[in-house]
Structure 1
Amino acid sequence: MADIDRDGGPGEPTEAFTPEFTGAFTAASVLDQPASEPDVSPHPAQPVLVPGAAQYLSRWRFVFVMLAVWVVAAAAGAGLYYWWFHSLDKTMPVFVVLVYVVAATVGSLLTALVQNRPPIAALAIGLMSAPMASVAGAALLYGGYVFGFLSV
């Protein structure tokens, strides 16, 4: 194998690219500019407070909102499981369960977009966890069937 001259290889010789400016604007190097200090204000930005609107939600009110959503969701889950358990064709109940889960997810995402309303934020959290409460309601009904508390 022959020793190839790396500096004088075949083809046109290369040289450093220097752009040609037309003079419409002056080109400045990034290295020539002094380092700018970060904007550090002495006081952080204050939130905008709306008079008469609560900025938070008490624990008990949050618990009551969550329980209200979960009770309705558990009843819906038990009803959907009852329908599924007693139907011969399982297609429609399974489709309704899919629609229910999608509606709960989309509803929670849409209600989470509401700003400055803490009860609506609690409702969004409740709607996001509603399918879990529905599974708990269906599990209670399933346990009633399995352990013989309820007759088929």
Structure 2
Amino acid sequence: MSEDIDTGALPMTEPHMAPIFDTGPHPVPLPGASAAPEQPRTGPEQIPVPVVLSPAKPPKPVVVAGQYRYLKWWQLALALVAVWIPAAGIGLGLFAWWYSLADKTPAVFVVLVYAVVCTVAGLIVAMVAERPVLSAVAIALLSAVFASALAAAPLYGHHYCQHVSRCVAGILPY
């Protein structure tokens, strides 16, 4: 059971100025603001307190033993190699399977699933905060599909060069 609300009986909003996105002083004094700023009262109820400015010393840095907030180059290289070697094997295996099939649909579907799994796993691992090694693993997982394709490229070149007469080293057609 809902009652109809009489909108005419509701209070109206007062008109206001449009917003100004300037960082300078307001061009027109706002309504209700006094032109002269108020002087601070110095009566018995409010006694001004002198402000003593002392030269503040900056706080000393605190060294917390534990994790690095950065990554050494060899740790990144090690994480890339640790992920890219299995990815290269997967790429070689998937390409060999794809090449041997008459109906390529299942192999293409598995390659799609592999690409999605690598991407989602990389994104999930990348969400871990303050772990630089896991950030390197996330980069490696996100680029694992590229490593798989790079490993499968010479095998593709070898199969292609079996049908073409002009190749360098049996894998690079020209």
Please confirm whether the aligned pair reaches a TM-score higher than 0.5, indicating the same fold.
Answer: yes
CA positional deviation for 1:19: 3.0
Distance in 2, Cα, partners of 1:50 & 1:102: 39
- Taking the aligned partners of 2:136 and 2:31, their CA distance within structure 1 comes to 50
1:125 CA drift (Å): 0.3
> 1:95, 1:31 → 2: CA distance?
69
The one-letter code of the counterpart of 1:106 is V
Gaps of 5+ in 2: 1-11, 16-29, 38-55, 57-61, 163-169
Structure-to-structure mapping, 1:34-113, within 5 angstroms:
51-113=65-127
* TM-score (normalizing by structure 2): 0.57
Structure ranking higher on relative contact order (CA contacts 8 Å, 6+ apart): 1
Q: Identity over aligned residues, as a percent?
A: 43
- Displacement of 1:96 in angstroms is 0.3
Which residue number in structure 1 is paired with residue 53 of structure 2? Answer: none
Which has more radius of gyration?
2
Tell me the amino acid that sits aligned with residue 80 of structure 1: L
Aligned length: 115
The CA deviation string for residues 15-48 of structure 1, in whole angstroms up to 9 with x for no partner, is xx9739xxxxxxxx489499xxxxxxx9xxxxx9
Q: In the alignment, what sits opposite 1:121?
A: 135
Q: Distance in 2 between matches of 1:111 and 1:85?
A: 33
Q: Structure 1: which 4+ aligned runs deviate by more than 4 Å? A: none
Unaligned segments of structure 1, at least 5 residues? 1-16, 21-28, 35-41, 43-47
TM-score by length of 1: 0.65
Shift of 1:89: 1.6
Measure, in 2, the Cα distance between the counterparts of 1:31 and 1:59.
62
